[in-house]
Amino acid sequence: MVRKKTTVVGAGNVGATTGYMLATRDLGDVVLIDIVEGLAKGKALDIAEAAGVYPFASAVTGTTEWAATAGSDIVIITSGMPRKPGMSRDDLLAKNAEIVKSVTTQAVKHSPQAFIIVVCNPLDAMVYLAAKVSGLAANKVMGMAGALDSARFAHFIATELGVSIADVKGVLMGGHGDDMVPLPRFTTVGGIPLTELMSAEKIEELTERTRKGGIEIVNLLGYSAYYAPAAGAVKMAEAIIKDKKTVMSCCAYCQAEYGVGGAFVGVPVVLGAGGVEKIVELDLNEMEKKAFAKSVAHVKQLSAKVDKLIR
């Protein structure tokens, strides 16, 4: 049986951590690619040598040459400028649009059948850009943010309630930014709705912390998070590679769904061998619909800016 092949674009903190997680979970061979000479090769060698302690079968290589990525089943794009204190995700738009356009062009040239998972910010706009540049079907291009935001929400809930995080299933929608829409009514702890276990005031406090989760880490570290974002991307890749039919939130293309009218935005989906196989439509109340519509409008504004940048 031929092992699957995943290319991780960018060998910085997020990329290297993604490569390590892919390898240790034995999800197939991994190629790290970065424009910095020696960076991807060094990180790949370090990861490969870790198999001498905790064995895995995945071959891990590093390169600066796109030819080495040929025939990849999945391409995970982590390259781009990270956030620093005082920056919003939107501040990264122009610089990262240039990078994502370039790497997406190379990715589809060498791996025209690959699924693309975008990790860099501003996430929803970069997914839109990757889809537009690649020309791939909408089900084959997606963004990691929902997995990350749900994980943050779940962590805060589990810590507050003193329960196993394995029992917490967080649900979020909307863009990956300050106007994301955590959904407490659909978030459960051991199958019990969060609204039955926590006061409205505490839920709002954790909701707001989730929205600010990225900048909280940026302010502490001086740069963007990478362990949890990498884990989110790997969970998505694993769902596709193993055809797991995983229900999770991610940035996916919606047309009629939720009345979005054509945009890549965070929604619950089913992820399997066909990529985004289904958009899960929840019965939102009026307040949730209003918050989601506001978030979608912001995403569309950023996507319109992308169109101007790549003309």
Amino acid at site 22? L
Q: Is 110 a catalytic residue?
A: no
From CA 212, how far away is CA 192, in angstroms rounded? 26
What is the third-level CATH fold of 5-144?
Answer: Rossmann fold (3.40.50)
d(CA 102, CA 107): 9
Cα torsion through 162, 200, 268, 115, rounded to 10: -60
- pLDDT reported for residue 78: 96
The residues near 265 (Cβ < 8 Å, ≥ 6 apart) are 124, 173, 174, 175, 251, 252, 254, 295, 296, 299
Using a CB cutoff of 8 Å and minimum separation of 24, what contacts does 48-52 make? Answer: 48/23, 50/20, 50/23, 50/24, 51/23
Q: How many CB atoms lie within 10 A of CB 205?
A: 14
Taking a C-beta distance cutoff of 8 angstroms, is the pair 128, 303 a contact? Answer: yes
Neighbours of 27 (CB within 10 A): 23
Greatest Cα pair distance, the chain, in angstroms, is: 55
How far is 306 from 95, CA to CA, in rounded Å? 11
User: Among the options 110, 155, 176, 298, which is catalytic?
Assistant: 176
Residue type, position 66, single letter: W
List the domain boundaries for the chain: 5-144, 146-309
pLDDT of residue 89: 59
> Both tokens of residue 284?
């939102």
Q: Are 56 and 29 in contact (CB under 8 A)?
A: no
Q: Cis omega (within 30 of 0) on the bond before 112?
A: no
| Residue-level pLDDT at 310 | 77
51 CB-contact burial (10 Å; exposed 0-12 / middle 13-18 / buried 19+): middle
| Choices 3.40.50.410, 3.90.1150.10, 3.40.50.300, 3.90.110.10: CATH for 146-309 | 3.90.110.10
The number of CA neighbours under 13 Å toward the Cβ of 138 is 14
Tens of pLDDT along the chain (311 residues) come to: 679 999 999 999 999 999 999 999 999 999 999 999 999 999 999 999 999 999 999 999 999 999 999 999 999 999 987 767 766 656 778 889 999 999 999 999 999 999 999 999 899 999 999 999 999 999 999 999 889 999 999 999 999 999 999 999 999 999 988 889 999 999 999 999 999 999 999 999 999 999 999 999 999 999 889 999 999 999 999 999 999 999 999 999 999 999 999 999 999 999 999 999 999 999 999 999 999 999 999 999 999 999 888 77
Contact in structure between 74 and 4 (CB atoms under 8 Å): yes
